[in-house]
Amino acid sequence: MSFDLITANLRLGLVEFNATFFFQIFNTFVLYLFLRKLLFKPVTELIENREMEIASDIDSAIKKNEEAEELKNEYNQKIKDIENEGKKIIKEAKLIAETEASKIIEKVREDEKEIRVKNQMELEREKVKAINELKDEISNLTIMAASKVIGKNLKLEDHIALIDQFIDEVGDTKWQN
């Protein structure tokens, strides 16, 4: 476009170089300064403050993530320690149980020995009792046989004395066989 065309368009009423034109440019510049002071500066400050808040929040989030990771590692370590302690307690409990079981088995064996000894003693008492009863029975049979052989009745005391004398002469060993 040529300069004549531009000046022709300017003359057609689109832009006229007169006082109004310069006043409009001045008003636009004043409006720019006014908006810059009242609007652009606060908006810019608001944006900068928001950027600092966001940066601060990001730093805080990073720190919290690091703390959370540390806590997670601590908890994992505590869980491992608790598991190891649980295994240790179970192992100790098994040892105690085995010791108690051994003690119980040993006590049962001792009780069994005591019962065997008591039973043996009881058998011996029963054997002695049976021998004594057998001696009494033999004594009675001997008295009856002796009274038939002798043909007379002896007093009970005499019979017992004769039997005791007989038993003393024969001895206890023959009765136990």
Indicate if the pLDDT at residue 75 is higher than 80. Answer: yes
Q: Give the DSSP H/E element, type plus range, for residue 154.
A: none
Put simply, whether the predicted model's pTM sits higher than 0.85 gets the answer no
Residue 69 has pLDDT above 70, yes or no: yes
Q: Is the pLDDT of residue 26 over 50?
A: yes
Q: What is the mean pLDDT of the chain?
A: 82
* Tally of CB atoms within 10 A around 147: 13
Task: List C-alpha distances in Å: 83 to 69, 70, 80, 91.
Answer: 21, 20, 5, 12
The total number of structural domains that make up the chain: 1
- The whole domain housing 128 covers 3-176
pLDDT above 90 covers a percentage of the chain that reads 49
Q: What is the C-alpha separation between 34 and 163, in angstroms, rounded? A: 153
Over residues 11-34, the mean pLDDT reads 81
Say if residues 160 and 139 touch (Cβ distance below 8 Å).
yes
Which range has the worst mean pLDDT, 62-66, 92-96, 142-146? 142-146
Q: Greater confidence, 101 or 11?
A: 101
Please check the confidence at residue 177 and state whether its pLDDT lies above 50.
no
Q: Name the residue with tokens 């810059």.
A: 36
Q: Which residue has the higher pLDDT, 54 or 42?
A: 54
Q: CA torsion 163→168→171→172, rounded to 10°? A: 70
